[in-house]
Amino acid sequence: MRRLIAYITLAVSSIIAIGVGINPIMSKGINNLDYRDGRQFVYQLFEKDDETIDVDAEDAAREVAKDMDERLKTWGVSNYKVEIEGNDIVRVSLTAKNDTEYDYLERYLGFSGQDFSIATADESVRLTHDEVFKDSEAYIVYEGYAPYVIIPLSNPSEFKTLVDAANQAMNDDIDTVDDDEPQYRKSKAEGDEEQQSEPNIYLWANWAEGEDYAKSQEDQKVADKIIAQFLSTNIYYENSDVKETEIKYVSGFADEEGNYDTSKIRQANTLALFVKNLFNANSYDYKVVNIFSTPIVAEVESILTYGMSVSLSISKTLIATLVVAAVVALVLAFFFRIGAVSVMTSTAVSFFATLAIFVAFRAEFNIAGLLALLLVAAASLVAGILHLTKFKEEVYRGRNFKKANTEAAKAMTVPAIDIAVIMVAVGVLSYVIGGALVASFGTMLVIGGVVSLAVNLIILR
């Protein structure tokens, strides 16, 4: 009797712990437009040479919408909607992880593409995209903890004139500094003690005549056009196959002492993705202007409530999950009596542990992820039912409960492993060949396959 009471107490405690822990887990998760409110960006098209002239071309909005769709796929947005209105309006609905990513996506979608120039801080030299970046494609590499955006040069010799001008201007500035003033500050973005000074070369997007670095310090719209900053003495990528043919942008943020802030690596990765995608974006045939953005509601329903704190909402998805769990528990209790407790406990633990690990990996939760999570729960449930069925067979053969459970556990080890292997294999395949939406499905299945196997082998024994 004591063992029975302890068994039930442990099972009930596990269920209560899961109920208490599900709220903070979901609150930390990343949801897409299926289960999270998002934003809609509205863009208007104008002729490139004159923003006062509306676009009349019949397929203008459709062409831009197609390019925006490709850009969103490149970024990795899993659920979005691109709609056209007339010949000159494009509406894009999506969700992002935070306000910073919303800002990046808004600028990325509205960028005309291939309209870059790079200049020294004093504007003594400015080179256009066609002069030094023609047919170049940026990519990201990681050295240590810092992400680098690498940009190949189409004309390295021409670019060297800009670097030389920036170096000369920096040397002239240093000569004017008093000997007792600090001339450099330390930077550890690359893990060394190389002396660094302020950036003096800037990569501009959609630069207009009359704009310069000084004006960017006063006008935020001008500042937004500067997408990358470089130091002329450390601008070349050292690991290039041919020396001085690629430049590097160290994506990241400085702390209060001017050193690379390793606590903001996630933000640095997002910034690197923004710079790379913006640089590689195809050009529009029209001027695309974001005229406004507006909040939108989740396509299915919002599973979180945002108030003084973020909490799990009493959504239809949550209610349906609880109702299904209750019905399954009653059916199991009818057929297996007290054995239903172990099956429901193992299923609940598999469900919760899979979801917790999924959220810890910062994966995006969506419809596909929910489907995979339900499959994980179903697989764990099936494994438990098969175990109890085998247990009953052994009892009918005259074995005592302890021996029957041992034999059932032995018999179900191989099927449990088979189920887990199938889930992991399907998950890996889905992740590799699927898009951003299916990636959540694959990630959840891989995690669930491993977790459910471990939980079932431990609890059901």
Domain boundaries, the chain: 2-32+310-459, 37-112+284-297, 114-280
Q: Which residue has the higher pLDDT, 423 or 172?
A: 423
Under 8 Å CB-to-CB from 49, ≥6 apart: which residues?
none
298, 32 Cβ separation under 8 angstroms: no
Nearest Cα to 118, choosing from 70, 145, 153?
153
Which long-range contacts does 351-355 make (Cβ < 8 Å, 24+ apart)? Answer: 351/18, 351/376, 351/377, 351/380, 352/18, 352/21, 352/22, 352/25, 353/451, 353/455, 354/444, 354/447, 354/448, 354/451, 354/452, 355/22, 355/25, 355/26
132, 116 Cβ separation under 8 angstroms: no
The C-alpha atoms of residue 285 and residue 56 are separated, in whole angstroms, by: 13
CATH architecture of the region 2-32+310-459: Up-down Bundle (1.20)
Which residue bears the tokens 């494994």? 383
Give the global pTM: 0.76
Average pLDDT over residues 188-203: 62
CATH number at 37-112+284-297: 3.30.70.3400
Least confident of 5-9, 85-89, 313-317, 451-455: 5-9
3-state secondary structure of 237: coil
pLDDT in tens, 405-439: 788 888 888 888 899 999 999 999 999 887 777 88
Question: E strand or H helix at 40, and its extent?
Answer: strand 38-47
Is the per-residue pLDDT at 191 higher than 50? no
Nearest Cα to 61, choosing from 33, 79, 42, 38?
42
Is the per-residue pLDDT at 323 higher than 60? yes
For residue 129, the one-letter residue type is: H
For residue 378, the one-letter residue type is: A
For residue 55, the one-letter residue type is: V
DSSP labels, 136-154: ---EEEEETTEEEEEEE-S
Percent helix, percent strand, percent coil in the chain, to nearest 5: 50, 20, 30
Which residue bears the tokens 């437009």? 33
User: Can you say how many angstroms the Cα of residue 252 is from the centroid of all Cα atoms in its chain?
Assistant: 17
How many degrees, rounded to 5, is the angle at CA 233 between CA 231 and CA 237? 85
pLDDT in tens, 74-114: 998 888 999 999 888 999 999 888 899 999 999 999 998 87
The predicted pLDDT at position 187 comes to: 38
Please give the structure tokens belonging to residue 32. 């897409």
- Would 2-32+310-459 and 37-112+284-297 be classified into the same CATH topology? no
Please give the structure tokens belonging to residue 292. 């406004």
